[in-house]
Amino acid sequence: MEQNNGLLIVLSGPSGAGKGTICRELLKEMPQVKYSVSATTREPRPGEVDGLHYYFRKKEEFQDMIEKEELLEWAEFCGNYYGTPRFAVEQAIQAGNDVLLEIEIQGALQVKKVYPQGVFVFIVPPSLDELSQRIHNRGTETKEAIEKRLQTAVKEMEYIKEYDYVVVNDEIPIAVEKLKSILTAEKCRVSRKTFVFQGV
């Protein structure tokens, strides 16, 4: 009989690479994969539910979580803290569920230090021209902001070597299939297997 824990799948990549879309499609096709819920100190927005959208915590509670090393990673953004609670991820993994964490590169590198057995996947666009086009098509940023995003993307690409896999997001369905193949391969790794033979 085979006994397996779930996997922690960490997705990163430059802004505009399509990480969010790939995550949504993967979760639709693989409902057994759980999306990692972050903790935050910001106030809930209308309709947001504690434990579903975020774990909402007071700043003192969050700082306590940092001190007790209860977060896989954390960062401060616009005066609020955001982070990935270790307890929720480990609980899901021990129950045999795969957990998907979509996160910025610096956060992913923090996770890798404390949870190196995770599966780290870097999502990239087919080219910088395509990335530029995608950001332009959003129509939400100035020319200067787009240029800055592209310069940041070039720097971020240097971190590919820190990841286990790279997926080129040319077409969403193909990228999702590649990600599913990675999960299948990782589940077949000998190092992840525990076999209990009946009668032995």
Question: Which structural domain range is residue 67 located in?
Answer: 2-195
Indicate whether 45 belongs to any domain: yes
User: Whole-angstrom Cα distance, residue 130 to residue 16?
Assistant: 9
Q: Within a 13 Å sphere around the CA of 161, how many CA atoms are in the beta-carbon half? A: 2
**What are the beta bridge partners of residue 77?**
80
Decide if 121 contacts 179 (C-beta within 8 A): yes
Question: How do beta strands 194-195 and 2-3 pair?
Answer: antiparallel
Indicate whether 33 belongs to any domain: yes
**Would you state the structure tokens that stand for residue 51, as one six-digit string?**
């434990």
Indicate whether 146 belongs to any domain: yes
Indicate whether 74 belongs to any domain: yes
Indicate whether 57 belongs to any domain: yes
**Mean pLDDT per 10-residue section of the chain, whose length is 200 residues:** 78 87 94 92 92 93 96 88 92 93 92 94 87 72 79 88 95 96 93 61
Decide if 4 contacts 117 (C-beta within 8 A): no
Indicate whether 131 belongs to any domain: yes
Decide if 30 contacts 181 (C-beta within 8 A): no
Number of domains into which the chain is organized = 1
Indicate whether 200 belongs to any domain: no
**Would you state the structure tokens that stand for residue 87, as one six-digit string?**
């307890």
The CATH code of the domain that includes 91 is 3.40.50.300
DSSP conformational letter for 192: G
pTM: 0.83
Decide if 94 contacts 102 (C-beta within 8 A): no
Query: What's the pLDDT at 18?
Result: 87
User: Whole-angstrom Cα distance, residue 53 to residue 70?
Assistant: 19
**Percent with pLDDT over 90 in the chain:** 60
